[in-house]
Each structure stands twice: as structure tokens, then as C-alpha cells.
A and B are shown apart, each in its own frame.
Chain A
Amino acid sequence: MNLDPMLLLAAALFSIGLFGALTQQSIVMLMMGLELMLGGIIVAAAAIWHYITPDTAEGQVLVVLAVTVMAVEMAVGFAVVTALFRAREVDVTDLATELRQ
């Protein structure tokens, strides 16, 4: 086992998540795509720590950062969905176009 397969796994997860984030109309499903993308970043950060810089903890700190971003993204995302649903009874991106204005 070496670095390349780990990074290829991370790239695959990132790309699948990107597909979900771009194609899903439901905001909750869109958030699932973002979670997959962050999962790919976690794998890449952990692999780079293990195979390139195990003598420093920066790679681990990046994993902590990505995990925190996951939590923040989910909490804020659900709060936005709740606020949007209360205001417009909308839970899909195509019907929330007033956010562009």
C-alpha cells in the first residue's frame, strides 16, 4: 500500500460528491454530496500525513479541520433549509432562486 491508491480513492470520493452537489435538486441531498467531498479531503489529508510528513502533526490538524467543517456545514445547512422551508415552503434548489437576488 502506498500514497497513490489512497489519493485516487480521495479523488474518486471527491468527484462523486461533486456530481451529487451539482445534480441534486434537494438541498439535503446536495449536502450529502458536500459530505462525500469532505470525506475525500479527509482521506487525502490522512494519507499525506502518513506517507509524507508523519514527523509533524499538520496533516492530523487538517483532518480535524475537515471534520469540523463537516459538522458546521451540516448544522448550518439544516438551519438554512429550516428557515427556507418556513419562509417559502421550499426544499429544492430550483425553487430557491430568489437567493440569487
Chain B
Amino acid sequence: MSEDIVFWVLAVIAVAAGVMVFRFDSMARATYALLLSLLCVGGEVLLLGLDYLGVVIVLMMTIEMAIMAVFMVMYMMNPAGLMPMSMLHNTKGAAVLCALVFAALATGILLVRWPARRGRPPTDPTMALGMSLMGPQMLTMVTLGMALFATIVSTVVLATRRGRYDRFGDDLRSRPADDPVRGGGGR
């Protein structure tokens, strides 16, 4: 019974905060609304017995939204929401499409006969996850590691101000580098 109450409270807050993300004028408020919604998602995961993953989601979302708030202030025209403004397009079409998507998903969820529960949750789900990632799901773990490494490289390349084409021009074999900044290597 208490789990039901906690579930519904978290669910209502998650959905309401998710809606408010796209209704606030202030980008800072939108960021905090998204943080609240995703913290409730973490709470639901904790409620399902996944302690480790729930805590990871809560911690990660807190840091992620803090970084997102910084980017909001950097790029958004109206980060504090002092001047009412609208940065939306095609709201009616998108609303209809999203209502249809929700209706289709809800219909499927309610009509499908879900399989019966197989087995019982392990006493330590975190241990089961670790054993799976280091055993049968090792390929998944290796792929995730490579994806994260590729992300690090690509984000640095994208975010750096000057690349090797800026120094050498189209012909990368040309020497010396046509580098307007002394020191080479972009320094």
C-alpha cells in the first residue's frame, strides 16, 4: 500500500515536472523541472528494488542538470525568464502526434497480455548486474566503453576552437604550418 502511494506521488510529480519543462519561460526553471522529473524517475527505479541504478541515476542527473544549467546561461537568449518569449514551432502538429503516440503506447500496454513473472528478484540485484556485465554481457560493457571513449574524442574535436585543418590548410602535408598563433599545436 505504501509502495503504491510512493509510486503515484513520484509518477504525478515526474509527469507534471516534465510538462512544466516546456511551459516555463525561464530556462533555469526548466532545467530544475527536468531535474525534478528525472529524480522521480530515479525514485521509481529505487522503488523497483534497483538500489544501485537508482542512486546512479539520481547522482548523474543532478550533475548533468547542473552542467545543462551552465550551457543554458551560455547559449539561451533569456536564461532568467525576465522577458516572456516563445521559442517553439509546430506546436499543434507535435501535440497531436504526441497524443497519438501516447494513445498507441497506452493501448498496447493495456491490451497486451504480458508474460507471467519468471523467477524472483535476486537478493542482491547489484551483484547480479555486475556478474552479468563481467560475464554474459561483457560485449555490451566493452561496446559501452568504446562508445564512451569515442564520445570523449569526438566532443574534444568538436569543441576545440582550431583543428589541424586550421593550421595546415586543405593540404595537411604543407610545412611549416600556416599557424597565425605562435607555438604550434594551436597554442
Residues of A whose CB lies within 8 Å of any CB of B are: 1, 3-9, 11-20, 22-29, 31-33, 35-36, 39, 42-43, 46-47, 49-58, 60-61, 63-65, 67-68, 70-72, 74-76, 78-83, 85-86, 91-92, 94
Contacts and interface: CB of A to CB of B under 8 A. Distances in A.
A75 to B, nearest CB: 5
A61 B87 contact: no
B18 A13 contact: yes
Interface of B: 3-4, 7-8, 11, 14-15, 18-19, 21-22, 27, 30-31, 34, 37-38, 41, 44-45, 48-50, 53, 56-57, 60, 64, 67-68, 71-72, 75-76, 87-91, 93-95, 97-99, 101-102, 105-106, 109-110, 114-115, 117-122, 125, 128-129, 131-133, 137, 140, 144, 147-148, 151-152, 154-156, 158-159, 161
A22 B45 contact: no
Contact of A91 (B75, B115, B159): B75
Contact of A70 (B64, B114, B156, B161): B64
Contacts of A64: 53, 129, 133, 140, 144
Nearest to A41: B41
A61 B52 CA distance: 12
Contacts of A9: 11, 14-15, 44
Given A22-B90, A75-B155, A13 B99 contact: no
Contact of B117 (A11, A14, A52, A65): A52
A28 B72 contact: yes
A40 to B, nearest CB: 8
Nearest to B131: A57
A54 B110 contact: no
Contacts of A53: 118-119
**Chain B contact residues, majority secondary structure:** helix
Given A39-B37, A49-B50, A64-B133, A5 B11 contact: yes
B89 A67 contact: no
| Shortest 4 CB-CB contacts between residues of A and residues of B | A55-B119, A57-B132, A11-B105, A79-B158
Given A9-B15, A15-B102, A64-B133, A22 B97 contact: yes
Given A15-B99, A57-B128, A83-B158, A23 B11 contact: no
Contact of A52 (B22, B31, B118): B118
18 contacts: A11-B109, A18-B101, A19-B98, A23-B89, A24-B87, A25-B89, A26-B75, A26-B87, A36-B37, A43-B44, A47-B48, A57-B132, A61-B129, A61-B137, A65-B144, A74-B64, A79-B158, A94-B89
Contacts of A28: 27, 68, 71-72, 75-76
